[in-house]
Copies of this chain bind each other. A is one copy, B any other.
Amino acid sequence: MPRNHRDLDLQEKRDALVGIARRLVLADGFEATGMARIASEAGVAPNTLYWYFEDKDALLIAILDSLVAEALGEYAKVQTKPLDVQLSWIIARFEGLTGLISSVHSRLSASPSVRDWHDRFHQMVESTLAARLAEHGVPETETATAARVAMFVIEGLLSHHAGQRRERDQIVQFVTGLVTRRDGTAETQLKRKPTSDGRARR
């Protein structure tokens, strides 16, 4: 896959390198995947990577961008489903990425570029969540706070072995129930109504 010099343009080769790095990083973890290994797998010299990426963090960010782009495309399909289904979907979708997520968090203080990406990502996810919450009857004054709480719960579940399936469902139901049951707006959603996946609560 080296395909040297001029028959692949810069962006194409960069993408190819990201793909290779992504596969290795997802398999073995970011810290455990050395630049030398990535280079060797790509058939180039280690320092060649530094022609395409400023440093290892830039490579990490490129990997994250490619993963987020894919997930975002798929999210469109569940965007209109009930809140608990959406939350469960998000958690299941990112379940394989817990290692990467904690790598991102661990680079936060050392790398301004990772910190920057991370903050942007949070902003994007939370504003999307806030919009969904608004649709579900959460009053405007609380959507931002509720979205942040939802985000924290998602991150918590993902960071901690993601819990067992059963426990995850319980937490998702608990949070959606709490968040949407405001001053009667969505009161019914909480009482006895079966969950959207057909299982009884508790």
Q: Which residues from chain A sit less than 8 Å from chain B, CB to CB?
A: 29, 31-32, 99, 102-103, 105-106, 108-110, 122, 141-142, 145-146, 148-149, 151-153, 155-157, 159-160, 167, 170-171, 174-175, 178-179, 202
Contact = CB atoms under 8 A, between A and B. Distances in A.
B145 A153 contact: no
A142 B174 contact: yes
Nearest to A106: B106
Contact of A109 (B29, B110, B152): B29
A159 B105 CA distance: 8
B105 A102 contact: yes
A159 B154 CA distance: 14
Q: How many copies does the complex hold?
A: 2
Contact of A148 (B142, B159, B171, B178): B171
Contacts of A175: 149
A174 B152 contact: no
Pairs of residues from A and B, 5 with the lowest C-beta to C-beta distance, nearest first: A152-B156, A106-B106, A178-B178, A102-B105, A145-B174
B171 A110 contact: no
A160 to B, nearest CB: 7
B102 A109 contact: yes
Contact of A102 (B29, B32, B108, B142): B108
Contact of A149 (B32, B148, B171): B171
A195 to B, nearest CB: 14
Nearest to A152: B156
Contacts of A122: 160
A174 B146 contact: yes
29 contacts: A29-B109, A31-B106, A31-B110, A32-B110, A99-B109, A102-B109, A103-B106, A105-B106, A105-B159, A106-B106, A142-B174, A142-B202, A145-B170, A145-B171, A145-B174, A148-B156, A148-B167, A148-B171, A149-B171, A149-B175, A151-B156, A152-B152, A152-B155, A152-B156, A153-B153, A155-B155, A155-B156, A178-B178, A178-B179
